[in-house]
Amino acid sequence: MSSLLQQQEFKRMAEKMAYYGKYDPVNNSQYQVCCITMNMGDRLRLLACPPEVIPMIRESVQQSWGKIQDERPYHGSHEFKLRGYPWHGQGDDAVASRRLLAGILRVMAQQGWNLIQSTDVSKKEGDKDSLFFERGVPEPDASLFAVSFNMGDRIRIVDAPGFLPYLKEAVQKYWPRGIQNEREYHGSMELKLGGTPWYPWSEEAVYSKLLLCQIIANFRTVGYKLYASVDISYGTEGRDLESWVFRKVSETWQ
């Protein structure tokens, strides 16, 4: 193929991919699977996602995070370059990035794409989890919220203040050092615990896991189930903490 023809073919493919991306959902006639990845400090890539979810993800990003700096095809994926650095988030950005994660999972659930697994499949320093989805039944009323574990002693509930009493009850039951402080933090409700439950030693290693068990059980009693545990933070291995997302149980999703 001549150089001119190669350029024309590349241009044709680039135009085709510019909005929708190159690849359809991966399938074997019975199941459809796609993937979303968080890259560098500011990129979000949709791999083999159906074209109809792209504008919805775009809107969710704009609502939960803010301006999108750029969009482009990236080797068959659809890539968003976000303003700022959500995967390096500190302060209010740390809350907004969890809101962004919950928003992405919510959009996918509403369109019938349920999370199979979030997993780290890269050895690169600063890597984050990849999200794998399977096609199911759409749930337009899907309800999700995020919980993050910060520093060595904080828990934050993002955009779900009504769940704070259930969180506090779990802490009071299973964390002997109790709650040192409670405050609103950039749209989240934050508890500062005594000691360092996320860097535990000796018996506190047991108490911290029992605390997490009780949080899961308490939220389950009001209809919400742990849906995802995702590493979205740019940190060296062993220093970053995963964020949890809870989803409301329904006839569509159990």
- Contact yes or no for 167/157 (Cβ under 8 A): yes
Token pair recorded at residue 86 = 């959500």
Residue 230 forms part of a structural domain? yes
Structure pTM?
0.88
- Contact yes or no for 107/56 (Cβ under 8 A): yes
Rounded CA-CA distance 140/111 in Å is 7
Residue 27 forms part of a structural domain? yes
Residue 127 forms part of a structural domain? yes
By three-state DSSP, how is residue 199 classified? coil
Rounded CA-CA distance 103/59 in Å is 10
Look at the chain and report how many structural domains it folds into.
1
User: H or E stretch including 148?
Assistant: strand 144-150
26 pLDDT band, cuts 50/70/90, is confident
Residue 192 forms part of a structural domain? yes
Length of the chain: 254
pLDDT at 161 over 50: yes
pLDDT at 160 over 50: yes
Region of residue 120 (left: phi > 0; alpha: psi -120 to 50; beta: else): beta
pLDDT at 237 over 70: no
233 pLDDT band, cuts 50/70/90, is confident
Residue 253 forms part of a structural domain? no
> Which residues constitute the domain of residue 175?
3-248
The confidence score (pLDDT) of residue 6 equals: 60
The dihedral through the CA atoms of 239, 88, 38, 220 has a sign that is: positive
Average pLDDT estimate for 20-30? 67
Residue 132 forms part of a structural domain? yes
Name residue, tokens 């740390």: 94
Of 2, 1, 22, 4, the C-alpha closest to 13 is 22
The confidence score (pLDDT) of residue 128 equals: 84
Span 193-213, pLDDT tens digits: 999 999 999 999 999 999 999
Residue 188 forms part of a structural domain? yes
Residue 254 forms part of a structural domain? no
